[in-house]
Amino acid sequence: MTEQQLPTFEDLLWPTLKVLEKHGGSASIQELSEYVARELALSDEILDVRHQDGPKSEVDYRAAWARTHLKLIGAVDNTSRGVWTITEAGRSAESEDQVRDQVRQERAKRYQDKRNPGTTTKRSSGDDDTLNEDDWRDALLAIVRRISPDAFERLCQRVLRESGFTKVVVTGRSGDGGIDGAGVLRVNLISFHVRFQCKRYTGSVGAPEIRDFRGAMVGRADKGLFITTGGFTKDAEREAVRDGAPAIDLIDGSDLCDLLKTRGLGVSTETVEVVRPKSEFFDML
């Protein structure tokens, strides 16, 4: 695999707009990832290249930058739930070259603004959050990967408990086919017995690991859950939902970070106070 074979973030600008337009004007990040890969006929070999050995693929990392730059030129927008939508400006874009030129001009303008602090550029809400959306995840994963395997199993146990699982136990016995623990998830009147595996990977989990885990859990649980600090190859994702076999839910490093953030485990979220004078108050004195 060479760098030339990987699409650049600019290569992903136009396909992202076309995919959004084709699928009703909106899509989740996961849907965009699948649709754009299909649109460009990207091979599994390309899609499985990791970004700095993290959970995110290099293509997904560059796709995030493509979305960021499309947002900066007003061609797309996103919600707090990670749903991206095409705007009227995005729909009216006439060609791939036009979109690339707009992005390059916007980048050049922002670069100049940074070199000249006295100038002011109107920034859209959430620019910093979008540009730095992966920074905290990278830092968090670096910490999690330093803890011991036993501590990581206990962390996963805590996450499952905080997510509504009961009777969560960590087994971690050798010769248990990769099963690290078990728990029960009750949904309304129905309970599901779940077996889980949790591994601190820096690379990708492949299809063989998913098959081995399934073989160990079949007949012992209703559901399987595979948690990793790394990512999953496309073969692994397909194997997890293969027809005729018990489905296995996958939680990669990015998903794990989101779970920790949502449940306030090892992560603090700060709210910035914004103070604005209200001139109308003084006008009424």
Q: Domains (ranges, CATH) in the chain?
A: 3-131 (1.10.10), 141-262 (3.40.1350.10)
Tens digits of residue pLDDT in 200-250: 888 889 999 999 999 998 888 999 999 999 999 999 999 999 998 888 999
pLDDT, tens digit, 9 for 90 and up, residues 85-116: 999 999 999 999 999 999 999 988 887 777 67
**CA atoms of 279 and 98, how far apart (whole Å):** 43
Confidence of residue 274 (pLDDT cuts 50, 70, 90): confident
User: Which residues, 6 or more positions from 62, have their beta carbon under 8 angstroms from its beta carbon?
Assistant: 6, 7, 8, 9, 12
Of the listed ranges 76-85, 216-225, 256-265, the least confidently predicted one is 76-85
What band does 175 get if pLDDT is binned at 50, 70 and 90?
low
Percent of all residues in the chain with a pLDDT value above 70, rounded to a whole number: 89
Residue 22 and residue 225: Cα distance in Å, rounded? Answer: 33
Element housing 264 (H / E):
none
pLDDT of 123 strictly over 80: no
pLDDT in tens, 184-193: 999 888 999 9
DSSP secondary structure letters along 195-224: EEEEE--SSEE-HHHHHHHHHHHTTT-SEE
> For residue 242, what pLDDT is reported?
92
Nearest to 207 by CA among 232, 224, 228: 232
pLDDT at 92: 93
Helix ranges, 23-119 (H): 29-39, 44-47, 58-72, 88-91, 96-115
Report the distance separating Cα 157 and Cα 135, nearest Å: 25
Question: How far is it, in rounded angstroms, from Cα 98 to Cα 149?
Answer: 50
CA–CA separation, 172 and 263 (whole Å): 24
The pLDDT assigned to 130 comes to 44
Angstrom distance (rounded) from CA 117 to CA 126: 20
Query: For residue 9, which amino acid is it?
Result: F
The whole-number average pLDDT for the span 172-195 is: 82
Using an 8 Å Cβ cutoff, are 236 and 207 in contact? yes
Confidence of residue 132 (pLDDT cuts 50, 70, 90): low
Q: In 3D, which of 14, 3, 143 has the Cα closest to residue 70?
A: 14
Handedness of CA 161, 167, 171, 176 (dihedral sign): negative
